[in-house]
Structure 1
């Protein structure tokens, strides 16, 4: 598996931007001239970047047994959102990034059924948000995702000032009615994306996950949700990524996964 650090000029963000890509070995691609290689977008959490998964987990070892192109973009602490302070991270990742990656990798699939997304914490929110708002992903996964602020105050967790949160989402009095809430995006979605979520029972986001999953199911979504003892830690996210990969319609070689 090749590891590539790519820099390109983002017209949306008006700056040089970086993305890390894992590209499958030739032996993992069924047809050498395949123009339909499946792709997974793998998102980082707060204070992370495009290299977080590589630095904090054995994701390269885990993914070498797949036939996936894995794209790990950066969003700073922008919550995969077009922020109030002018950095349009959502547009950059939802619209511009796939086009840029297709130029680099013309054999990357354009089919929804072979396009997947997953993320941890802030990236769990980003995963569901990008899936619900674009209807371009067949499967989306959240690991300890910050899926709802309906009953959760981020500033109470020392995760940033009130000015920071207003800079990202604006003034919000009712989260579920906000255009940034998953519930608002879900109401406009075609509901064809299969949602997959896990959260640790000792995680401070556990109640937020329970609430968001309940709301999404009430809106008609297929959500596979599990929880087990666990904290807000990389140890659990790596294990859950492995579980999620096993559910996807991709090649996933078990013996190499364990080697």
Structure 2
């Protein structure tokens, strides 16, 4: 695999942004690695999103995602979005526009990445799990599968925990986001009503996680709506040991064609 550490100008944010990208490399003599690359030279891509207290470096620092992706010939794009909840902030920058519109176009202009729905996937943990579900449910035509790990599925239910960040992003705790474009429960209903094909969904949360009850409510909501959902839980809490194991499972689960 090749690792790219990229700084680039974002029109949506109005500043220089950062991302890490790992690209498949076909190797024969590299010791301890099974590395593959697409014969078409347009790589299938996983957009991998970070949580509230982290940045674009965290998945490489805390997990073996590069090793897991290598054997499947999967490119991985890891952008930095600060503490934005992947949202066009009420009092701040347009991170939803950045991650949902600008980032994929820029990545495909920089690197040989496929633009086909069946070759594009999104995953993330905690705040990144919220961003994952928001992308998958808002733009089902772009992603074949999405995996939310220990996700914030109901920001309003956790508003007190996120404090000023919540106020800056969504406009204040007195502002109801239920029923809006920020509400994952509503987005799931709207997608079902639209008749568009939803991505395959994977959801994980540990029973000791402070987000567990919210995840169970969202799981049950998806199942009532008839979504194709792979759900996993265990006794873990909110930590990188479980996310390392889960991202390995997610990459194995992804419906990569001819892999």
Residue matched to 1:185: 187
- Answer yes or no: is the 8 Å Cα contact 1:66–1:252 preserved in 2: no
- Answer yes or no: is the 8 Å Cα contact 1:149–1:208 preserved in 2: no
Among 175, 178, 184, the residue aligned to 1:176: 178
TM-score by length of 2: 0.88
**What is the deviation of 1:85?**
1.2
* Distance in 1 between residues matched to 2:97 and 2:87, nearest whole Å: 8
Residue matched to 1:10: 10
SS at match of 2:47: strand
| Root-mean-square deviation over aligned CA pairs | 1.9
* Distance in 2 between residues matched to 1:98 and 1:67, nearest whole Å: 19
Please give the residue correspondences for 1:1-259 in structure 2 after superposition, counting only pairs within 5 Å.
1-27=1-27, 28-31=36-39, 34-105=40-111, 107-135=112-140, 136-149=142-155, 152-155=157-160, 157=161, 160-161=162-163, 163-171=164-172, 174-189=176-191, 190-250=196-256
* Distance in 2 between residues matched to 1:30 and 1:41, nearest whole Å: 17
| Structure 1 runs not aligned, ≥5 long | 254-259
* Distance in 2 between residues matched to 1:42 and 1:186, nearest whole Å: 21
* Distance in 1 between residues matched to 2:23 and 2:94, nearest whole Å: 27
| Structure 2 runs not aligned, ≥5 long | 28-35
**What is the deviation of 1:148?**
1.5
Structure 1 20/39 Cα, relative in aligned 2: closer, same or farther at 3 Å? Answer: same
**Total equivalences in the alignment:** 245
Q: Could you list the per-position Cα deviations for residues 43-88 of structure 1 after superposition, in whole angstroms to 9, with x for gaps in the alignment?
A: 1001111101111122222222220110001110000001101311
